[in-house]
Structure formats: C-alpha cells, structure tokens
Structure 1
C-alpha cells in the first residue's frame, strides 16, 4: 500500500481501502490509487492520461459502450453523485464485474475533479449499465436511446431496403434474436422480405424462409393476419399456430416457428399514413427469456417510425419513376442516315440520387446535313428533366428555322434559357455534312461541356477541345467560336455528359484519361458493343457516382 506521504504523481493514497480513480472534466484519468491498479489489473502509468470510459467500460460481451448511453460519463460531465454497475476491461483483456460510485472530488491544490470508487460487489441488476436478466425489458434510458437512433437511421435514407436493414440491426440482438419483415406490395400481395437471425455476433439471412406469401384472409383471428390488416400488436408463441391452420399464412407461420426455434415472438403492423405496409416480427430463441408487454410497446414505437420511413421511401421512388419515365420518353429516336452508324444510351443516376437533366439529340436538317447535340441542364430533380425537354425543343426549332453555323444557333439558345426556366446548361452542338461522296465534315461549338472524343480505327484517340466557350445561362454574352474537322474513315465520335467521367472520388482529368484509354482499346468493336462496353468500363460505380449519364456515338463509314 502507498501511504499518503509516499504517493507519486498520478497516484492516490489507499485511504479508503477501495479502488479510486480521479478524472477531470473530460473524463480523463488524473490520479489512481493502488487498490484501483490491483482491481483493474493495470499500472498507474497505463491509466493516467487515458479516457476512463473508452479504456475501461464495456458491455457484457466485452464490446465498447456507446458514450451517449453511459451513465458514468453523464455523471462525469454533470459532476453529480451517481451509482451504477457494469463490466470493465482489465489490463489482460479480461472482464471484471464491478459496482461504481461517482462523486465530486476537490483538493485545495487541484482543480475540481470527479472521483470514481470501484467495488467488486455488483449492485442492483436493473442498472442501465448492468447486464439484465434474460427476457427483461430495456431500461427507459436505453429505450429512449434506441428510439432516437432509430429515428435518425431511418430518416437518413430514402431506400426502403436499406431502411429495413438498418431497423433490424438496431433491434437485433438488442431486443430479439430473430427479425421477420412481411411487406404488402403495391399489387396487394404479401412478400416475406426478410428473415434474419443473429448468433455469435453474426447476422444471417434465411433465404429459404423468404419469398411470396399467401393472401391475407379477411377475417382470420391469427396474429400475423390481423397485423397485416392493421390490427394491434400481439405476443405470440409456437402454440399459437399449433392448431389446424385457418389459412395459408397460418401454415407459413407454423413453418417459421418450427424452422427458427423461436419460443416467443411479438408481431406489430407497419403502418404508413394511409395504408398498412406490412408487419414486423421479433422473436427470441431458447437462450433468452420470453418477450414481455413492455417489449411489445417498444416494438410498436419502432414500427410507427418504420412506417413513416417506408412511406417516404415509396413516395420518393414513385416520383423518381415518373421523372425517369418522362425523361426516357422525351429522349429522341435516332434518325436513319445512309452510311452513318449511330448509337445512344441513357443511364439514370443511382437510386439514392434524383433524376437529372442529361440529354442527347440527333436529327436531320437536310438530306446531307445531320445535327448532333449532347447537353446537361444543371440540377438533379424533376425541374431539371422538364427544363431539358424545353431546351432540346428550342434547339431543334432554332436549328430548323435558321440555317446558321452552330455557334449562332447556340447564341440564340443562350438568349432564350430564361424562357425554359433553367439556371444553366452545358452543351455541344454540331452539324455533320457530306456532299457528293466527299469525306464527312463536322462543325461544332462547345458551351462549357466536356469535349467530344474522336477515335480512329487504328486506336488513336484525341479530345476535340476546339470551339470552346462559356456555358449557357450565365448572363454573359461570350464570343462563341466554331471549330471544323474532317472525320477520318471508320473513326468513332463520342459525345457524352460529365457523369461518365466525373465522380466524388475521382477528378474529371482522371475520368477523361480513363475514357480515352478504354475508347482506344475498343476501336474495332461494332458500334453498339463499343457503346455498351465503354459505359460499363468507364462510368464510376454507384458508390462513387451520383449523376446520370447520356452518351451518343457515331461511326463514320
């Protein structure tokens, strides 16, 4: 034992005969005594200067505890007396079960700190940091924390599958070992979307139990049938489904209990603002006690939040589908030009993004002149898609009615962008002409758009950077030059939008170089295969890309 007179910096005398740590206002250990060193299995040098919660506090499985749910940390910050119990990690990694008492601590020569007294006699088992008896309900603090986390997790995604997976990982294994999600589709069919089990720290899907389900009976008193009709939540056991089944759903439920080994379950409806969207079942295996009415109340709170999240996700998907369908229908059919091959592709942005304003166009002006365009209306929403349609129509109207060079047509379009209600537009517009068997000649102007790429049949690729000027809609009237080039026989011209070459994790220069290399390597491919492979190999992955892509390719005869 270290006496008061012999205590070294960072050490406390063993005046209390108990393990004591003194922490500062941040929860960092400032001093310890010999009893604390022995009880925690750590030397003073390994404790002082370390965050007490992060270094020591664990759950019953040895995993770090969430600071937001730790009563010990709350007592540090508030500097108020507080008692509790829980698990703490010793120096060799072993867990020790301890009671703790937090109280303000001050010395005349030191700033006001907090003392933590540890004892090896566990306190009441209903403490929020202490392991609960199997089957007991979550304490109120942990329940509120779970509901708050559920709200945060579910409102931060508009993907219904992602929302359900997040919900399950919040509820399992905290409340149950099994989670089952049954969804009602837009065609009023029932789909068992998820059957997930948690065991030994691993989540596993039972795909053999997932899939389509029989129709919902109109008058069945069985719990899942009632939940799918929007009735109140229910506690269920295997015995509930041991009698003669009254419907196909009851038969599937009996099979579920038999296959999973659940001895206790709770079923609650998932309700949207107007309709019942499905049902959530949480179940426990024999290693844990049965679910209780308190768990049922918590499940109802979870499904209420889930219903709102799924409602929002479904509404978003419907709006997105409308916008995407409108955009696809507005994109034109390519004209048939003798001797000239053309291909075009449009890919919408990933599911987590909104539809955009990317577009392409090709149309004949005379028998020997074909107009080409690729553009991008700034924005990622329905307004951008609608603005794209107006810009494309206006460009066609100017090109047909005014026989002028591309730069003059684009100047007229720039002056009219306000009529379309769009903020800004990037655009490449050009005309391709062949007269009396002469080589094909391209004349174009570029308004702030990525440059076209020309690939010769022997694999030489270069960007057409000439004819470049400001994008449309800036309010400035720049000089818009025209560029002109004779296209080599069997060469391929590529017009594209920036979603093909730019992403959050990759600069546009890197994307352009990637495009150039892949286009050169595909120079001998037939044009449809060339276009598809170029998209596949060049476009950033969904994780990197949040933009749609339009591409127009031409093969010179």
Structure 2
C-alpha cells in the first residue's frame, strides 16, 4: 500500500485545497475512499483508492468521479440518469450497493461494492464520502454494448428536446399532440406514460395510460377517463403537479398509506395495475395556466427515477404545455368559426319541380370558415335568385365581409325588379363605400320557369369562374357570357347579362375557384378537369353527383375554401326520378 503522500491534490491546480485533517482521516480508513465536492468532482483520495484504481492521484483529483470511474460490466460508460450512486449523491442521502464496476487506469474493469454518505467537518458539509472495496476478480473490458433502455447521453438529451419541439409544434390537434408526446418518451425514457389533463371546466381527465414494450404501444383504456377533483392542500405528488406546485419522484410506497383524496386512490390503482416501481410526475404548464401532469413510470427492468431526472422531464413537459395550449386555442377558435359558419350559410329554398343541393368545404388549414359562399332565395316576382361568390381570404375577417356582401345582395335583388347586371352594379357602389371588402368575385343569376316546363337562366359574372351546364347525356358547356371585372372596382364599364334556356334534365354547377385551382396546373387545365369529371357523373342523382364531383376534382393540396351550388331541371315538366332530397354539406 502506498503511503499518506498520495492524499493530496497534486497536479490539480483548479481543485480546492484539501484540509490536512481530511487527508489524515481518509488514510485512517482501511478501504478505498475518496471525497467529491458538490459538483461530483474528486477533491481527495486515500492511498488504498489509488492502488485499487491503478491511477496516480493527480489523475483523480479534480475529475468528475462518475465520468472517470463508473462503468458497466463490459466497461462501457453508464448514463447519469441510470447511475444509482449519482442519484443518492444528488439527493444528499446515504446509499450502498454490493455489486458495481469501476474503470481502472490500466483498462481493467474492477468489480466493487460501495457505500456513500454526506461528509461533514464540524458543522460544515464538505462533500460526499465514497467508500469502496474490490468484490471479485477484475475483468477485461468487453466490446461495446447498448446502454440500458432509457439512458441518454447529453447529446441524446439535446436531440430529444429538439425533436420534442419539432414534433409538438407541427400539429394543432390535441389528440395528435398527445400521441406524439407519448411516442417521444416511451420507451426512450420510461416503460409507461400517463397524461392527466385539466379541462376547460377545471375537471381532470386521464387522457392516456400507455405501455411501451418491444417497440409497441398499448393503451390501457380501463385506466383512462374522468378523475376526482384536485385537492387544495394535498401533499401527494400528482395533486401537487396538477396544482403546478412541484415535480416529484414517487413509487408504489408513496400511495400505500391512508389516501387523502380520490386522486390518491386512483394513483394507488395505477401503480398496482401497471407494476411501475418508480415514477416521475411533472406539471404540464402553458404560459397562462397549468394544463395537467405528465407521469413517466419504470418497471423493475430499469433503474428508478431520481431527482436528477426531473429537469429534463420538466423541459419536455413545458414544451408539451405550449403545444397543447396552442392546439386548444386553435380548436376553440375553430369551434367559434364552425358556429359562425352554421349561421352564415343559408338554408336552400324549396322550388317546385327543381332539385337543388349545395356544399361548403372549408380550407383545411384555416378556421373552418372563410370568404366563399353560396346563396339561393325567392324574388318578389316569383323567380329564384342564385349566387356564388368569393371574398378574398379564408378567415373570420373574410367571413364577415362575405356576410355583408351577401346581405346587401339579397336586399337589392328583392327590392329592385331589375336584371342581375343592374343589381350587381348597385352592389358595386355599395361595396366601395360601406364595407371593408377590398376584392370579391360574384356570379349572380335569376332562374325562372317558362311555359311548357322550360327554365330560363339569366346571369351576370363579376370576375368569377363560369358556371358549367351539363345535358342529361353528359355534354358539358361553360356559360362564358356576361363576364365582367371584380366587385368593388372603380370606373367599371356597365355590366351586361346573358340568358340561356336549360334543357330538361340538365344540371347547372356554380362553384368557387378552390375547386379548379391547383399548384402546377393552369386555370384552363383545372376547368377541363372539372368538365370532364362532371360529364362522366351527369347520370347520377344530384347528391351523389355533387359528392363524387368534389371527391374527384378538389385538389389534394387545396388550401382554399370551396362553395358549390348544383341544380337540376325536371324531365319534360315532371319530377326528376334521379333526384334525392336536397341537403347541405354537414347535414
């Protein structure tokens, strides 16, 4: 055994000075011993430790003890999150293990048993004392093996946080965000993931209880569902997390006593049903409020969670909270928009012998309402007014402008017994002076029944795609007449009308540009695609015709609203046998 001269900080100029009394005390210990400071760096080691580790004292002092020494059986580094010695060190409590491994300076793995305890000199905490002894024969370092599941290097931690941000901020759907959160942490960090969310009515709902095994995720639906209310004063871990008080490490023993609340009862049931022997429970917060709690659980196949694991989990939960808050705000806005849409889009009038159906498809990434619209209403002279229009935009502002334009059009069309062109000219002037609409298109027509069962359509077009007329035999024709400039244009030339007689059994399709515009295609190509598919579907009942037309023609990457109005005239003055009852999209 080497003499006391080894108990010093030789070669470690940055290490703190070691009191002679500490050095003498370590040499009096009959086994390997060293002391680490609050950061886990070695500040003193005795001669027995130097001999066991086959390392000069200058190669020990000032080094992080975990990084330098701690290994698995094969000589591979152990992640800090999986190190029981480091867990106890950070928690400031005594601990011991009968079987562990240190790396010697000669490349040999040394089986050891160890004991650690906080070390005091007088009333002052100096650091942590580590005692260790050889517990078997040394073994040569083996080939690299995969670290225990759940262990993460510092680089992997940073990658996980970056992945969390990317995955969770790229969706505005709450359920999708929860699913992505679970897949990020299971099985990478834990065997179980449990998510409890606080609803807008301050009720707790256990949204997910998920187990990961063999790269498969299994939901335990019997453990999901409503939870008891959050107790105000309970010191139990989940109750504290749901109040946003603190993160905690817990285990089955935590909930073995007399339960202080219904949540405690549910937590005991959770631990019993899942077999978790260790759990980390952290709040899920947004910038405004506590949204819930994330519980990660490990079975006995992994080392238990420690307080050192909580900062990483809190960071993940914080990012999840921001994503969930954004998703909730979006869904709240979407619900408001859906309600607004329901009241803005009109019911279709009943016109004897005429079949009519309408559809409205919102922009996929907007707020479920926009500037595209349709309308049909009776006129004071017995004719029927038809309109399809588009106010630029697909948001609530565009929807508000659409409502203004539509209501003014109804008023002018009802009160003024004039052709469509004169009505739209009046609307032109009004839009410029009493609305905030900057740009809009409009197709406005009047349809009236003539003698012998014929129907006459008269229309004017303000910058809108032309209506499509289909014969019963599938002959398609765009009605390109009466085309003028957009609504609201100053100094516009007088608008004109065009008139056509709709043959018996013919179909008229009025639509907005979201149906025919697609990236990479010209407008002519979009119109050709619409007419080709419409002609092939002309024999179908009107509702089926409309649904299939939207399914076939609407571009897959469409990012605009689509409004569509389709009508069919009867055969020779009789009801069309192909007719099915009219309905709106969503009814």
1:450 corresponds to 2:438: no
Task: Give the whole-Å Cα distance in 2 for the aligned partners of 1:298 and 1:394.
Answer: 58
Give 1:547's aligned residue.
560
Give 1:126's aligned residue.
none
Offset, 1:293: 1.2
Offset, 1:203: 4.6
Offset, 1:223: 2.7
Give 1:346's aligned residue.
360
Answer yes or no: is the 8 Å Cα contact 2:282–2:314 preserved in 1.
yes
1:306 corresponds to 2:307: no
Task: Give the whole-Å Cα distance in 2 for the aligned partners of 1:386 and 1:297.
Answer: 47
Gaps of 5+ in 2: 1-66, 69-75, 78-106, 110-143, 571-587
Matches within 5 A, 1:224-235: 224-235=238-249
Question: In structure 2, which of residues 462, 474, 477 is the aligned counterpart of residue 459 of structure 1?
Answer: 474
Offset, 1:161: 2.8
Q: What TM-score, normalized by structure 2, do the two folds share?
A: 0.65
Deviation string, structure 1 residues 227-266 (Cα, Å, up to 9, x no partner): 2333322212233345566655445444544454433221
Answer yes or no: is the 8 Å Cα contact 1:135–1:292 preserved in 2.
no
1:362 corresponds to 2:376: yes
Answer yes or no: is the 8 Å Cα contact 1:194–1:205 preserved in 2.
no
Answer yes or no: is the 8 Å Cα contact 1:359–1:388 preserved in 2.
yes
DSSP-derived class of the 1:422 partner: coil
Task: Give the whole-Å Cα distance in 2 for the aligned partners of 1:398 and 1:153.
Answer: 51
Answer yes or no: is the 8 Å Cα contact 2:515–2:550 preserved in 1.
yes
Give 1:424's aligned residue.
439
DSSP-derived class of the 1:359 partner: strand
Give 2:311's aligned residue.
297
Give 1:391's aligned residue.
405
Task: Give the whole-Å Cα distance in 2 for the aligned partners of 1:524 and 1:135.
Answer: 61
Answer yes or no: is the 8 Å Cα contact 2:366–2:394 preserved in 1.
no
Matches within 5 A, 1:90-109: none
Paired residue total: 434
Answer yes or no: is the 8 Å Cα contact 2:460–2:497 preserved in 1.
yes
DSSP-derived class of the 2:411 partner: helix
1:519 corresponds to 2:521: no
Deviation string, structure 1 residues 199-233 (Cα, Å, up to 9, x no partner): 44x35241535641332252554433432333322
> Against the structure 1 CA distance between its residues 359 and 443, is the aligned structure 2 distance closer, same or farther, given a 3 Å change threshold?
same
> Against the structure 1 CA distance between its residues 336 and 184, is the aligned structure 2 distance closer, same or farther, given a 3 Å change threshold?
same
Give 1:316's aligned residue.
330
Task: Give the whole-Å Cα distance in 1 for the aligned partners of 2:229 and 2:145.
Answer: 40
The farther-off stretch of 313-322 and 283-292 is 283-292
Question: In structure 2, which of residues 483, 495, 498 is the aligned counterpart of residue 468 of structure 1?
Answer: 483
Offset, 1:146: 3.9
> Against the structure 1 CA distance between its residues 244 and 348, is the aligned structure 2 distance closer, same or farther, given a 3 Å change threshold?
farther
Offset, 1:171: 3.3
Answer yes or no: is the 8 Å Cα contact 1:448–1:470 preserved in 2.
yes
1:502 corresponds to 2:525: no
1:206 corresponds to 2:219: yes
Task: Give the whole-Å Cα distance in 2 for the aligned partners of 1:305 and 1:444.
Answer: 55
Answer yes or no: is the 8 Å Cα contact 2:281–2:294 preserved in 1.
yes
DSSP-derived class of the 1:413 partner: helix
Alignment RMSD, CA only?
3.6
Give 2:292's aligned residue.
278
Offset, 1:297: 1.7
Task: Give the whole-Å Cα distance in 2 for the aligned partners of 1:489 and 1:189.
Answer: 60
> Against the structure 1 CA distance between its residues 436 and 462, is the aligned structure 2 distance closer, same or farther, given a 3 Å change threshold?
closer
Give 2:392's aligned residue.
378
> Against the structure 1 CA distance between its residues 457 and 135, is the aligned structure 2 distance closer, same or farther, given a 3 Å change threshold?
closer
Answer yes or no: is the 8 Å Cα contact 2:474–2:535 preserved in 1.
yes
DSSP-derived class of the 1:269 partner: strand
Answer yes or no: is the 8 Å Cα contact 1:343–1:527 preserved in 2.
yes
Offset, 1:529: 4.0
Give 1:326's aligned residue.
340
Task: Give the whole-Å Cα distance in 2 for the aligned partners of 1:421 and 1:513.
Answer: 35
Answer yes or no: is the 8 Å Cα contact 2:223–2:270 preserved in 1.
no
Larger radius of gyration: 2
> Against the structure 1 CA distance between its residues 256 and 478, is the aligned structure 2 distance closer, same or farther, given a 3 Å change threshold?
farther
Answer yes or no: is the 8 Å Cα contact 1:216–1:228 preserved in 2.
no
Task: Give the whole-Å Cα distance in 2 for the aligned partners of 1:503 and 1:414.
Answer: 29
Answer yes or no: is the 8 Å Cα contact 2:507–2:568 preserved in 1.
yes
> Against the structure 1 CA distance between its residues 173 and 336, is the aligned structure 2 distance closer, same or farther, given a 3 Å change threshold?
same
> Against the structure 1 CA distance between its residues 209 and 450, is the aligned structure 2 distance closer, same or farther, given a 3 Å change threshold?
farther
Give 2:569's aligned residue.
556
Deviation string, structure 1 residues 523-555 (Cα, Å, up to 9, x no partner): 3444344434433444345xx232222221212
Deviation string, structure 1 residues 337-386 (Cα, Å, up to 9, x no partner): 22222222223332565631111111122343211100111112111010
> Against the structure 1 CA distance between its residues 251 and 131, is the aligned structure 2 distance closer, same or farther, given a 3 Å change threshold?
farther
The farther-off stretch of 373-382 and 514-523 is 514-523
Question: In structure 1, which of residues 194, 198, 210 is the aligned counterpart of residue 208 of structure 2?
Answer: 194
> Against the structure 1 CA distance between its residues 238 and 464, is the aligned structure 2 distance closer, same or farther, given a 3 Å change threshold?
farther
> Against the structure 1 CA distance between its residues 445 and 153, is the aligned structure 2 distance closer, same or farther, given a 3 Å change threshold?
same
Offset, 1:295: 1.6
Answer yes or no: is the 8 Å Cα contact 1:370–1:433 preserved in 2.
yes
